[in-house]
Homo-oligomer: A and B are copies of this chain.
Amino acid sequence: MLKLKKLPDGCTGRRQRNGCDTCGARAFSVCLSIDDANLSRLNALAERIALAPGDVLIREGDPASHVFNISGGSVRVYRLLSDGRRQITGFLFAGDFLGLATGDRYAFSAEAIESGSVCRFRKPDYRALILTTPALEAILLDRAHHELAAAQAQMLLLGRKTAIERVATFLRDLPGVDPMRPLPAGRVHLPMTRAEMADYLGLTIETVSRVLTRLKTEGVIRLLSLNQLEIARPKRLEALADGEA
């Protein structure tokens, strides 16, 4: 089943706090109704694929043959330099699209972090569909613009924020990005490893680890386990994220 999240105005793409009604998540970001006929036509073309951790969805440089929509789980999207340095450009969750750009080669790689599943469409099917479904195109345009805003926010982080500010921003923005995993307020789930956080934030593993320890020591967060933490002082975290401390 294809899922479409409608982004609230002023939100920065995959950063929205809430999920999708029919995805089993919470209010305010509701499934957008393209009409049922089109939706079922769309789903008829979809190939459902289960994902195990580490599964490759897209490899940079491969022919751009498919478009994906994440149904569940989490995915890392990244670019590499020739010597292996990696920049993770985003984490994707249920409802997110992947591989929409034109161009005959993918410009990035994408791999599953957790087990989950995706809908896959062949590019020609996708193109045909979009030509006959202006509503879908409008949704995608809207989403693309929100992703662009999120990308700009990430550039600000990478270009101008300190290590603490980066980690604080990350922890502040992470709650609620996964509509499939509703958590109690202040609770954050980290499906990714420290290495992935580091490659997303433009830091090293060691720096991420040190900053988390420091945030814990200062009572801003509580580490419940490696992949689960609690925000003890949200105001303080917010201030740190915006460089106001």
Contacts and interface: CB of A to CB of B under 8 A. Distances in A.
Interface stretch (A39-47, A137-145, A189-197, A225-233): A137-145
A5 interface: no
A57 B204 CA distance: 38
A66 interface: no
Nearest to A165: B81
Interface in A1-37: 7, 9-12
A12 B79 CA distance: 14
Interface in A200-233: 201-202
A152 B79 contact: yes
A50 interface: no
Interface string A105-130: 10110000000000000000000001
Contacts of A86: 160
A89 B151 CA distance: 9
The count of identical subunits is 2
A138 B202 CA distance: 34
Contact of A158 (B101, B107, B130, B155): B155
A66 B110 CA distance: 36
Interface of A: 7, 9-12, 77, 79, 81-83, 85-87, 89, 100-105, 107-108, 130, 134, 137-138, 140-142, 144-149, 151-156, 158-161, 199, 201-202, 242-244
Which of A83, A105, A144, A199 is packed against the most chain B CB atoms within 10 Å?
Answer: A144
Contacts of A11: 103
18 contacts: A9-B102, A9-B103, A10-B104, A10-B105, A77-B152, A82-B242, A83-B243, A87-B155, A89-B155, A100-B145, A108-B149, A137-B141, A141-B144, A151-B152, A155-B155, A158-B202, A159-B201, A159-B202
B243 A152 contact: no
Given A100-B145, A141-B137, A154 B156 contact: no
A87 B148 contact: no
B144 A145 contact: yes
A11 B103 CA distance: 7
Given A137-B134, A151-B155, A244 B101 contact: no
